[in-house]
């Protein structure tokens, strides 16, 4: 897999799946044994079985075996989208500055967890208030404007290494810390929905809100770094269920009030009778 240019994370993932098959009694040198083990796992989803078949396919090619792979097809479903208030509650409740900053970057850029974890300080331009995302999974590179909130959060982090999140040895260890904090916050706030929020959930949320705001699928495609618009079209479906009642509306009269609302993440809507109207998703 290394020779074929696979990412290290993908190699580890496939290795883990093969080891799991062995623990369940499969003989990797006997394709029929592998088929049987996969077929009798009642708690596995069709999608997970499909991933197991993909992992074993690589082993078959490497070992020179032949097999007729079983057909498992994942059922498509719409991703779950939290409210912005729930995301902000999660970010505010994190006791780790690294985790809260990681989540804020995900919220503003819709970057993948691996892309954020690999960010370097040289990717941050504090003068121009931008953050540059180096892609993974064949996506396109992107650059985003940072909010004042994110700039403040980044400035609170130590700069002991070229990578921003070098405090954690791996993305896996960072994710474990996040999951512990998420559980604590959900219990404290009495909101079990927070347990459903993952790093990738924030990517879905941002993509949905961007389409709801712009109605421009090409904009969302570029925002996410997708190369195939088919991967982006799902957010058109999700945005159909966005309703005005999901917004908090505010009115500002003075420049100071307007600046405060913008810094708090509110979006300008219109101006009428000397008053500026803003909205923000709940």
Q: Please check whether residue 225 lies inside any domain of the structure.
A: no
| One domain for residues 187 and 269 | no
| One domain for residues 125 and 176 | yes
pLDDT tens-digit profile of 238-250?
776 554 446 677 8
| One domain for residues 113 and 169 | yes
| One domain for residues 55 and 115 | no
**Please, which residues have CB within 8 angstroms of residue 95's CB and are 6 or more apart in sequence?**
181
Q: Please check whether residue 182 lies inside any domain of the structure.
A: yes
| Boundary of a domain, candidates 179, 200, 221 | 200
What's the mean pLDDT in 117-126?
A: 96
| One domain for residues 90 and 162 | yes
CATH number of the domain to which 159 belongs: 1.10.443.10
| One domain for residues 97 and 182 | yes
Confidence at residue 241, expressed as pLDDT on a 0 to 100 scale: 59
pLDDT tens-digit profile of 176-226?
999 999 999 999 999 999 999 999 999 999 999 888 888 888 999 999 988
| One domain for residues 127 and 180 | yes
Residues, the chain: 282
Above 60 in pLDDT, residue 145? yes
pTM of the model: 0.73
Q: Calculate the dihedral angle through the C-alpha atoms of 90, 136, 149, 216, rounding to the nearest 10 degrees.
A: -90
Q: Please check whether residue 143 lies inside any domain of the structure.
A: yes
Higher-pLDDT residue of 280 and 146 is: 146
DSSP 198-250: -HHHHHHHHHHHHHHHH--HHHHHHHHT-SSGGGTTHHHHHHTT--GGGEEEE
Structurally, how many domains does the chain consist of?
A: 3
The confidence band for 271, taking pLDDT boundaries of 50, 70 and 90, is confident
Structural domain of 125: 84-200
| One domain for residues 174 and 98 | yes
| One domain for residues 165 and 112 | yes
Is the separation of the CB atoms in 98 and 168 below 8 Å? yes
Confidence at residue 275, expressed as pLDDT on a 0 to 100 scale: 81
Q: Please check whether residue 27 lies inside any domain of the structure.
A: yes
| One domain for residues 173 and 275 | no
| One domain for residues 95 and 191 | yes
Confidence at residue 266, expressed as pLDDT on a 0 to 100 scale: 81
Q: Please check whether residue 226 lies inside any domain of the structure.
A: no
| One domain for residues 142 and 56 | no
pLDDT tens-digit profile of 63-115?
999 999 998 887 777 788 999 999 999 999 999 999 999 999 999 999 999 99
């Amino acid at each position: 897999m290394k020779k074929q240019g696979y990412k290290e994370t993908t190699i580890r993932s496939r290795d883990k799946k093969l080891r799991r098959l062995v623990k369940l009694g499969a003989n990797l040198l006997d394709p029929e044994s592998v088929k049987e083990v996969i077929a009798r796992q009642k708690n596995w989803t069709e999608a997970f079985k499909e991933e197991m078949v993909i992992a074993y396919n690589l082993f078959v090619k490497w070992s020179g075996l032949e097999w007729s792979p079983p057909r498992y097809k994942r059922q498509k479903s719409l991703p779950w989208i939290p409210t912005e208030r729930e995301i902000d509650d999660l970010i505010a409740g994190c006791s780790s500055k690294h985790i809260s900053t990681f989540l804020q970057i995900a919220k503003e850029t819709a970057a993948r967890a691996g892309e954020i974890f690999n960010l370097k300080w040289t990717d941050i331009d504090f003068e121009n208030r931008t953050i540059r995302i180096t892609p993974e999974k064949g996506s396109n590179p992107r650059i985003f404007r940072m909010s004042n909130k994110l700039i403040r959060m980044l400035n609170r982090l130590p700069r002991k290494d070229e990578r921003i999140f070098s405090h954690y040895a791996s993305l896996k260890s960072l994710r474990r810390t996040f999951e512990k904090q998420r559980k604590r916050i959900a219990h404290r706030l009495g909101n079990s929905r927070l347990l459903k929020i993952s790093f990738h959930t924030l990517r879905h949320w941002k993509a949905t809100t961007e389409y709801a705001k712009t109605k421009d699928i090409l904009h969302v495609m570029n925002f996410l770094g997708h190369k195939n618009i088919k991967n982006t079209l799902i957010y058109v479906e999700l945005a159909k269920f966005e309703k005005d009642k999901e917004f908090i509306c505010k009115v500002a009269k003075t420049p100071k009030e307007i600046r405060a609302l913008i810094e708090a993440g509110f979006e300008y809507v219109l101006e009428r009778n000397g008053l500026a109207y803003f909205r923000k998703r709940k």
